Amino acid sequence: MPSSIQEAFQKALTKTQTHVAQPIPAEWDDETTETKIEEIKTMQTPTAATAEIKRVYFQPTNNVTRITFNYVRDNPGLPRARVTDLLSKQGFNYKSVSSLLGQMIAQGLIRNNNDALFVTQAEYTPLKSSTTLKNKEARKVKAKPQPQPKAAPVEPKTQRVASTNTLLAEEFDADKFVGAMTLKQAKAVYDALRKIFG
C-alpha cells in the first residue's frame, strides 16, 4: 500500500502510460477524413427591408366567417336573406351563414338598417365567443339590491289581565307571539329577557 498520496498518483500515471490505446475507427475519425462542415444559419438578423414588414403571428384563413363579412362589405345594402342565399349557392352552409350574420349584427361588425346590411368597420376582426360576451355583460351590469318587502303593519293585540299572577285564558304560542311583533319590539323583548336570564 502506498505511503503517501504522491506515490499513489505516480503509480496510477505509470499504469496509464503503459496501457496501449486502441485505434479510433476510421468512420469516427474526422481529422484524417476530408469531411466538410456546412454552416447552417438558425436565425436571421433583421435588415432594413425586413424591419419595416409588420410581424404576422398567424396566417388568417379564408373561412366562412371572413367570406361572409367580406361579401357584405363588397355588396352593401343587400338584405340578409339575399346574402344568405348567394353564399349558400357558393357552397357555404345556409344555416352557418345565417347564424354568422346574426352574430356579426349582435357584436356590431355589421348593422342591419331596414333589412339592408352594412359593415361598421373596414376589416374583419374575429368574432368573440358567446361566453366571453356574457362575462363582459355580467361585469357591466351591477346587481341591484332587491327591495325588501315591508311587513304589513300588525295591530298590537292587547288583553286586559286582572292581575299579573293570573294566566291568560288562551294557550300561549311563541311563534304567534314573535310573529306579531315588529323588529323593534322583538329587540326590546330580547334585551329584557337577557337581563332576566343573563
Question: Is 25 a member of any domain?
Answer: no
With cell 304560542, the residue in question is: 173
Question: Is 93 a member of any domain?
Answer: yes
Range(s) of the domain holding residue 86: 64-119
For 8-27, what is each residue's pLDDT tens digit?
A: 888 887 776 665 566 666 66
Residue 111 corresponds to which cell in the numbers above?
Answer: 348593422
For 63-79, what is each residue's pLDDT tens digit?
A: 888 888 889 999 889 99
CATH number where 103 lies = 1.10.10.10
Return the exposure string of 123-141: e unless at least 16 CB atoms fall within 10 Å of the residue's CB, then b: ebeebeeeeeeeeeeeeee
In angstroms, the CA 83 to CA 101 distance is 9
Question: Is 11 a member of any domain?
Answer: no
In angstroms, the CA 58 to CA 148 distance is 54
Q: Are 85 and 95 in contact (CB under 8 A)?
A: no
Q: Is the pTM of this model over 0.75?
A: no
Q: What is the DSSP code (8-state) at residue 180?
A: T
Q: Are 66 and 60 in contact (CB under 8 A)?
A: yes
Question: Is 141 a member of any domain?
Answer: no
For 117-174, what is each residue's pLDDT tens digit?
A: 998 888 888 877 766 656 666 666 665 666 666 666 666 555 554 444 444 556 778 8
Say how many domains are in the chain.
1
Other beta carbons less than 10 A from residue 103's beta carbon: 18
